[in-house]
């Protein structure tokens, strides 16, 4: 068998391969599972090999997060109607962060990441299409992006807390709702009354309701 002239190992390490492995570990076992020991085991390599392609753990997490966000932005097919497109993009981010809770934590730890560029550009562009006046554009885009990432991050924290078991989720929400319901209605009128809705609410729908409130507020700026 004849060796190729440039004998490059097809299974050689690269930042991309490492980042993909890291993302798989994060999806499997959450943030605590991503250790350099787990990574070297999965890639059958040594620590130095990884550090040769990646500056440190923080760099690794950032790169994995960028990859997820970039994929969402690439896949988010956006229709013509800007209002609906804003809902689609927002929901795409929400779902991606729900599926990869570590992304939510990372984004709130390091905003201004390159991946967020695409998000700002897309959302800002759609706000322009909505005729938001120029002087309000920056604040409106900032607020909406922050709302989307903020809520998605909070939701991801819950997802992380509750594993992926639906029964767990109901039990947890039920327990919190019971605590809320047990509060003195004179001292906590709102929370006491909101207990039922807490038990029954759908995070995704509540998220979208928030986006709609936002868009309604932005519409008053026109």
Partner DNA sequence: ACCTGAACACCGTTCAAGT
Query: Which one, 17 or 194, has the nearer CB to a second copy?
Result: 194
Say which entry of DNA, a second copy, none residue 75 contacts (CB below 5 to 8 A, set by partner kind).
Answer: none
Interface residues with DNA (CB under 7 A)? 9, 12-13, 34-38, 44-49, 51-53, 56-58
Q: What are phi and psi of 191, to 5 degrees?
A: -65, -40
Contacts of 121 (CB under 8 A, 6+ apart): none
Q: How many CB atoms lie within 10 A of CB 171?
A: 12
137 near a second copy, rule: CB under 8 A: yes
Applying CB under 8 A, which of residues 161, 171, 178, 182 lies at the interface with a second copy? 161
Say which entry of DNA, a second copy, none residue 35 contacts (CB below 5 to 8 A, set by partner kind).
Answer: DNA
Helix 134-161 / helix 203-219 crossing angle, nearest 10 deg:
170
H or E stretch at 123: helix 114-129
158 near a second copy, rule: CB under 8 A: yes
CB of 32 to DNA, least distance (A): 8
Whose tokens are 């309604």? That residue is: 216
CA distances (Å), 211 to each of 12, 181, 208, in order? 45, 28, 5
Query: Which one, 49 or 70, has the nearer CB to DNA?
Result: 49
CB of 155 to DNA, least distance (A): 25
Q: How many CB atoms lie within 10 A of CB 148?
A: 24
Interaction mask 71-110, a second copy, x per CB under 8 A: ---------------------------------xx--xxx
CA angle 210, 213, 214 (to 5 degrees): 90
CB of 8 to a second copy, least distance (A): 32
Cβ proximity of 23 and 64 under 8 Å: yes
Cβ proximity of 101 and 154 under 8 Å: no
Contact residues for a second copy (CB under 8 A)? Answer: 104-105, 108-112, 117, 120-121, 124-125, 128, 136-143, 146-147, 149-151, 153-154, 157-158, 161, 176, 180, 183, 188-191, 194, 197-198, 201, 206, 209-210, 212-221
């Amino acid at each position: 068998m004849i060796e190729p002239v440039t004998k490059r190992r097809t299974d050689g390490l690269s930042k991309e391969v490492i980042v993909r492995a890291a993302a798989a570990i994060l999806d499997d076992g959450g943030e605590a599972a991503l250790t350099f020991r787990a990574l070297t085991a999965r890639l059958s390599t040594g620590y130095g090999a990884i550090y040769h392609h990646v500056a440190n753990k923080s760099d690794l997490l950032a790169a994995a997060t960028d990859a997820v966000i970039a994929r969402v932005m690439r896949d988010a097919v956006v229709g013509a109607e800007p209002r609906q497109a804003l809902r689609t993009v927002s929901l795409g981010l929400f779902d991606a962060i729900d599926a990869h809770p570590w992304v939510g934590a990372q984004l709130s730890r390091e905003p201004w990441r390159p991946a967020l560029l695409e998000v700002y550009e897309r959302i800002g562009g759609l706000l322009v299409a909505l005729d938001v006046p120029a002087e309000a554009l920056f604040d409106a885009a900032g607020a909406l992006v922050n709302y989307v990432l903020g809520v998605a991050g909070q939701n991801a924290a819950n997802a992380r807390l509750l594993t992926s078991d639906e029964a767990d989720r109901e039990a947890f929400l039920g327990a919190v709702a019971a605590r809320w319901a047990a509060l003195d209605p004179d001292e906590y009128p709102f929370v006491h009354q909101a207990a039922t809705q807490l038990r029954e609410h759908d995070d995704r729908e509540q998220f979208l309701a928030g986006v709609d409130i936002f868009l309604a507020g932005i519409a008053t700026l026109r």
